Structure 1
Amino acid sequence: HPASVKLGTITAEGTADIYCYQCNDSRLDPELAAHLANFGINVLTQTKTEKSMTELQIEHNLNFDFSMTGDDGKSLEPVFGAGLTGLANLGNSCYMASVIQSLFSLPAFQTRFYPTSLAHAATCPEPLPASCLECQMGKLADGLLSGRYSHPRKVPDPSAVVHSPSPDAPDHTAPQFQEGLKPTMFKALIGKGHEEFSTMRQQDSEEFLAHLLKSLRQDAKKKSEAEEEQPTGVFRFGLEQRLQCMNCKKVRYRVDSQDSISVPVPAKEKSPVFVEGGDPPKVEYEPVELLRCLEAALGTETLEYACPSCGTNVMLEKQSRFSTFPDVFVIHAKKFQLVNWVPVKLAQDVPVNLPPNDELSLDAFIGLGKQEGEVELPEEAAAVAPAMPQINEAAMGQLQAMGFGTNACQRALLATGNSDAEQAMNWLFQHMEDPDLNDPPVIAPVAKSGPEPSADDIAGLSDMGFTPAQARKALRETGGSMERAVEWLFSHPDDAGEEAGASSTGPAAAASSHPGGSNALPARYHLKAFISHKGPSVHSG
């Protein structure tokens, strides 16, 4: 692909702004120093003299005018009061602010963190509030819900201005917005040790929501907090997966606990309207109904499967349904397409229409479980006693020399493919707060049959940035199809995957006895909040 490097952004560390013209997006080059050497450029002698695109975008975002007008052209008046406090832009932090505002609009998060913030601060066992997640959540709750910080931004007194105002001077007659809270400590804490959320780059709000919920649950587990007291439980529901062999007609059921569901958004272009002498028409897409997106996600799909009953590869029918419904239903609309294995955002947004009267009913999607007359598929094979895989002794010694315990080192090596000390060390830094870090590693029972994904396919997905464990599970879930495995990985960003030898087909290993939620009907939902990304790609906006 044709690419360019912004020379003024080259640093001695070997980083620079790189733009790909064919992809129309920014790119990273891990071999930048070697590539620039072909042009006689030694990165070790370079000094950064220009702003990077990230810095320019942050500067633009910080100076952006968020005033809006209604259909009649009049400016919308800002509102103030309790529960109406804004969050200031920290630079590419809109993904975080939108998630925080959505969460604290829910009664479960309001009642959990707002009344208890001062009481917890007085008894917090952490040495510093900046290292306590509950302190930071309570601080956010107080700032957003109390109304103490919800007031108009102060502007200079016009009578005090003795010189001629510049064209860029603030308009004192325009609506004045808030300064907004700056959740700097929260951002630093929640992103600590995370490869993406610790940076100032654009991120995906759905991935951040999953990361935040996981962090809150880990924090609650450390404090032995009862599950029913955790506000994250309002998102939990059970997703029932039904598998049926198309040859012997036997079935298998499993239930997975989830916090959200990803739905495809069909992109059907409208017929372009050409105007003689005018500009080329822009690409526009036909509106799609939200209910149709859910039907597509929960519909039947066919894939190849090694049936333990038939003893051969046959076609399998797979369908998903709800075993329980959540109190708060999170839907992730996948407004991107895979082009050459790279996620690319659609050039124009696809309008997604809500159901009539803004009421979404999930009654038709409830799972019924095993029906009378259905015969269950046999287990893949009797599981043998779990055995500890051979640990990389050299990497193990390096990690122990840094002061990590034996169990922690074994967990890190197993989680990173038992490859080298550097990857394992990065994993350890990201999981320092895990309450079970120093517990003995849990080795899944090894099934003697069932297709193991090929090493080449696992390596191909690993080259795209996924861990071997994630790649292995995605290939198992999709019958070994690389294309469907990529889509599965983007739909399950918070799934840690499975290690070599683990079997994901047995219902006992994957099913959750308490997935959360309720199976009571009717299951009807009204729109509470939505987060929409505005930008040209998945990396900016």
Structure 2
Amino acid sequence: MSDLLDIPEDVPSSIAPNARIFKDDCMYSFDTAENNELGLDIDLISYQAFSRTKDYNYTLENYGKTGHSLYLNINKVLKPQEERNKLLYNENGEKNQKLQKLEIKEVKDDDLYNTTITIYDADEDKSYALDQITPRFQSLVEQILNANSSNRDDEIKQWEQEIFPCEHSVDLQQFDNVGTIDLTKCSQCDLKENLWICLHCGALGCGREQFGSSLKGNSHALSHYELAEHPVAVKLGSLSADNEDSCDVYCYKCNDEVKVPNLSEKLLKFGIDLKSAVKTEKSLIELNIDQNMNWEFNLEGANGEKLEPVYGKGLTGFQNLGNSCYLNSVVQALFDLESYQKFFSDLETPESENPADDLRIQLLKIYDGLLSGRYSKPGSLKGDDYQLGLKPSSFKTLIGENHPEFKTQKQQDAFEFLLYLLDKLDNEFGLSLNKDLKFLYSHKTVCSNCKHGNLRTNLVDNISVSIKDEVIDIEKESGKKIYKPVSLIDSFKDYCANEAVEGYNCDNCGQKPGLAIKSGGFKSFPEVLIVNAQRIKLENWVPIKVDVPIEIPTTLDISSFKAPVFSADEVEDEKKESSGGGFVPNSDALNNLLLMGFPEVRCLKGLFNTGNSNAEDAMNWIFAHMDDMDIDEPFDPSDATSGNANASSNGPSQEAIDNLSSMGFSQQLAKKALVLNSNDINASLEWLFSNPDDDGVISEDAVSSNKPVVNIEKEKDELSREIEATADSNGNYELQSVICHKGTSPHTGHYVVFIKKKIEGNDRWVLFNDEKVVACEEHNMEDVKTNAYVYIFRKVKS
């Protein structure tokens, strides 16, 4: 026994509660136990994962920094295809069909891989087999192997955030005289798993059968509801002392997963002590995640031929993490840009105690993963020759942290995510990363009565154009609308055309209400032009997508859509300088609101009343105040003495502090959040939710330890002047990538991205459909016409 390796004194003998176990991939790369020859090393003290390759030894680097020498090494080698085929095909040799919700085929790693577990000593560069360590050490290994990984915990939390109590679970009536309940099997059959107990009367029944799974069911819990009308039941196998919120509770009346307040108290009625419960089966959340991550999509050409998988640098796919295709498509398109590749190739990896929480490290990890080519090789588990794909789990969790939508597992709008991500990157790096995307767009508004007006120029990084949705026919059988084909250049013509503005209040002639003419155009043309086709329409206040065919704009010339100027009979009013801390609207947010069609006065009021931070908050304010009697009354900047939350160099404005305080935080805590986050309302709100118990005291250490402040407003002013001084008249572009959406709503369906790549010296279109990366020709891109949602163009040099 003395020859066996035991747990050293500096290594905890058991996992601490709520510890994050990183065992999916390396902290700095996408090396995993499956794709790396030497497997994955898990630090037995920090539980962070590192890898060793011929190019770089992250494990050794971590040992040098921390002195942690012992690591749990997990190495997985894929089993031969013949063995895996038994899981992928039925007895008739047919590929198993897609599985519907809650019909999950459970495939364990042991079914797919031959797994080797060892302890690696970085100091001695030596590995110990499990039979060479003490039973106490083996127990620690088992704990780590059985624990959910950090990524898995994040995924589960994201699903849990979407589950809420219902009226039946809140007002749950329990009956007396329950009697003794046999909790070992279904009361109507002999099944001993997938058991659900009625929280009203204690009746125990089996759940619905999980088709294609070893988990069986005869629906006796559902039968009990249909007979007794007791709607709420809980799954016994999901009960866990670690987390009451992770227990499966279902309301048959609402036909949905719900939460039950004080569940542990309700269970005591039936002799079940939640404090000692141990989870024995996969929860509905885990089954949902499995289903979403294994969803398959057809990849065939227009003539039914299979599209050719391609591999190499810049041809690496992402796995779908459960409705994460919107993120996958956006990130693929951005990292295809030459400016992104150069920026991250020059960026040094920062020091960090937890790389999973450092945005720069996660972006560098994505850069290396997508462009190195190391992970772009055949290796699918699904019986085809597609690649495994990268899992951007840490990045998804980090970038969506505290955002009400992007932190969930729901499908999201790819364009909304793109705007959110660009804003995040601007605040992280300044404008250097997205400089090629920035351009100046001007709006001219002239009073039709006196010919006086103004010209407003904003620095923006995208344009959103409407498309005409003229219905020319309706399919008789399906009722589907057939739209008249359009051209994208026509959308630009409409966007920049003269527009009558009714109800205009002219400061010069005093006509109220009057009429004005508004027009717009490009004062500069960016190196990279992002264009959103507004396919989302509101019908009865419900967003739907219109499949208007848009001819694929392989080239685009917008040189003629220059910024408007004042004619000989028009007079430009003198620009009013704001003084004394007067309100200066966030230019990006204001322009986005104007592009959405909101009147300027409403946009200004929305920004002023929401901290002048972003268009989304201002838009929500506008919708909430549509019926206000004074909604269209003139907005006087002189009354807004402290509205510019971002402009003050002496500290947060009182308006910004009040906005955060109105959400229930103290004035002192709100001020500290703003100070630590450079007066950024969104970032401050995220900080407040993460630090609700902070004392609000602003110490010098707290301020100095914060990352360097990026003065976005100052950088915008400087970049605007630079662009104006160097702007040319070249508005010629060629299509570089296009994000497409299949489905009836931006929050459902599926996103993919087509990107033009150099393959063997030739330009070819490549389709990135999550981890499936295939080459295609233009005749394979018919779906682009009706599904193109975001275009990214590259300027053609004169």
Same fold (TM over 0.5): yes
Aligned to 2:535: 335
Q: 1:215 and 1:419, CA in 2 relative to 1: closer, same or farther beyond 3 A?
A: same
Aligned to 2:499: 301
For residues 318-347 of structure 1, the C-alpha deviation after alignment (integer angstroms, 9 at most, x for no partner) is 11100111111101111122234x24213x
Identity percentage over the alignment?
31
For residues 265-303 of structure 1, the C-alpha deviation after alignment (integer angstroms, 9 at most, x for no partner) is 2211122365xxxx3543221211111111222222212
Alignment counterpart, residue 108 of structure 1, candidates 301, 323, 339: 339
For residues 53-109 of structure 1, the C-alpha deviation after alignment (integer angstroms, 9 at most, x for no partner) is 998875443222235112332211211111100001111111111011001111111
What is the distance in 2 between the residues matched to 1:408 and 1:146? 43
For residues 149-185 of structure 1, the C-alpha deviation after alignment (integer angstroms, 9 at most, x for no partner) is 0111155xxxxxxxxxxxxxx55xxx41111001111
Aligned residue identity for 2:302: D
Q: How does 1:101-500 map to 2 (within 5 A)?
A: 101-113=332-344, 115-116=345-346, 120-121=348-349, 124-153=350-379, 171=383, 175-221=384-430, 227=431, 230-272=432-474, 274=476, 279-303=477-501, 304-313=503-512, 314-340=514-540, 342-346=541-545, 349-355=547-553, 358-372=554-568, 374-377=570-573, 385-386=580-581, 407=651, 410=654, 412-415=656-659, 419-422=662-665, 434-436=677-679
Return 5+ residue gaps in structure 1 as ranges: 1-16, 18-27, 156-169, 222-226, 391-405, 442-508
What is the distance in 2 between the residues matched to 1:213 and 1:423? 31
What is the distance in 1 between the residues matched to 2:440 and 2:537? 27
Aligned residue identity for 1:345: I
Question: In the TM superposition, what is the alpha-carbon distance from 1:522 to its structure 2 partner?
Answer: 2.6
SS of 1:531's equivalent in the other structure is strand
Q: 1:373 and 1:39, CA in 2 relative to 1: closer, same or farther beyond 3 A?
A: farther
Aligned residue identity for 2:544: K
Aligned residue identity for 1:318: K
Task: Name which of structure 1's ranges 30-39 and 74-83 shifts more when overlaid on structure 2.
Answer: 30-39
What is the distance in 1 between the residues matched to 2:469 and 2:435? 33
Q: 1:432 and 1:212, CA in 2 relative to 1: closer, same or farther beyond 3 A?
A: farther
Question: In the TM superposition, what is the alpha-carbon distance from 1:255 to its structure 2 partner?
Answer: 0.4
**Given that residues 536 and 543 in structure 2 are in contact (C-alpha distance below 8 angstroms), is that contact kept between their aligned partners in structure 1?**
yes
Q: Which of structures 1 and 2 has the bigger CA Rg?
A: 2
Q: 1:423 and 1:351, CA in 2 relative to 1: closer, same or farther beyond 3 A?
A: farther
**Given that residues 255 and 515 in structure 1 are in contact (C-alpha distance below 8 angstroms), is that contact kept between their aligned partners in structure 2?**
no
Return 5+ residue gaps in structure 2 as ranges: 1-158, 175-198, 201-229, 235-247, 251-255, 258-283, 584-607, 610-649, 685-716, 750-798
What is the distance in 1 between the residues matched to 2:558 and 2:721? 22
What is the distance in 1 between the residues matched to 2:447 and 2:419? 33
What is the distance in 2 between the residues matched to 1:217 and 1:250? 36
Q: Tell me how many residue pairs correspond in the alignment.
A: 393
Alignment counterpart, residue 519 of structure 1, candidates 705, 710, 727: 727
**Given that residues 413 and 420 in structure 1 are in contact (C-alpha distance below 8 angstroms), is that contact kept between their aligned partners in structure 2?**
no
What is the distance in 1 between the residues matched to 2:672 and 2:390? 29
Aligned to 1:90: 321
Q: 1:519 and 1:387, CA in 2 relative to 1: closer, same or farther beyond 3 A?
A: closer
Q: TM-score, normalized by length of structure 1?
A: 0.63
**Given that residues 169 and 232 in structure 2 are in contact (C-alpha distance below 8 angstroms), is that contact kept between their aligned partners in structure 1?**
no
Aligned residue identity for 1:187: K
Aligned to 1:158: none
What is the distance in 1 between the residues matched to 2:462 and 2:670? 25
Aligned residue identity for 1:328: V
SS of 2:342's equivalent in the other structure is helix
What is the distance in 1 between the residues matched to 2:330 and 2:679? 28
Question: In the TM superposition, what is the alpha-carbon distance from 1:367 to its structure 2 partner?
Answer: 1.4
Question: In the TM superposition, what is the alpha-carbon distance from 1:369 to its structure 2 partner?
Answer: 3.4
What is the distance in 2 between the residues matched to 1:54 and 1:202? 16
Q: 1:409 and 1:318, CA in 2 relative to 1: closer, same or farther beyond 3 A?
A: closer
Structure with greater proportional strand content: 2
**Given that residues 246 and 315 in structure 1 are in contact (C-alpha distance below 8 angstroms), is that contact kept between their aligned partners in structure 2?**
yes
Q: 1:143 and 1:433, CA in 2 relative to 1: closer, same or farther beyond 3 A?
A: farther
Aligned residue identity for 1:141: Y
For residues 420-478 of structure 1, the C-alpha deviation after alignment (integer angstroms, 9 at most, x for no partner) is 4259999899979734469xx9xxxxxxxxxxxxxxxxxxxxxxxxxxxxxxxxxxxxx
Alignment counterpart, residue 740 of structure 2, candidates 521, 532, 537: 532
SS of 1:197's equivalent in the other structure is coil
Q: 1:97 and 1:252, CA in 2 relative to 1: closer, same or farther beyond 3 A?
A: same
Q: 1:430 and 1:371, CA in 2 relative to 1: closer, same or farther beyond 3 A?
A: farther
Question: In the TM superposition, what is the alpha-carbon distance from 1:36 to its structure 2 partner?
Answer: 7.3
For residues 193-232 of structure 1, the C-alpha deviation after alignment (integer angstroms, 9 at most, x for no partner) is 22221111111111211121111121124xxxxx5xx221
Return the structure number with greater relative CO, CA threshold 8 A, min gap 6: 1
Q: TM-score, normalized by length of structure 2?
A: 0.44
Question: In the TM superposition, what is the alpha-carbon distance from 1:519 to its structure 2 partner?
Answer: 3.0
What is the distance in 1 between the residues matched to 2:568 and 2:548? 42
SS of 1:65's equivalent in the other structure is coil
Q: 1:44 and 1:377, CA in 2 relative to 1: closer, same or farther beyond 3 A?
A: farther
What is the distance in 2 between the residues matched to 1:330 and 1:87? 22
Q: 1:301 and 1:137, CA in 2 relative to 1: closer, same or farther beyond 3 A?
A: same
**Given that residues 359 and 526 in structure 1 are in contact (C-alpha distance below 8 angstroms), is that contact kept between their aligned partners in structure 2?**
yes
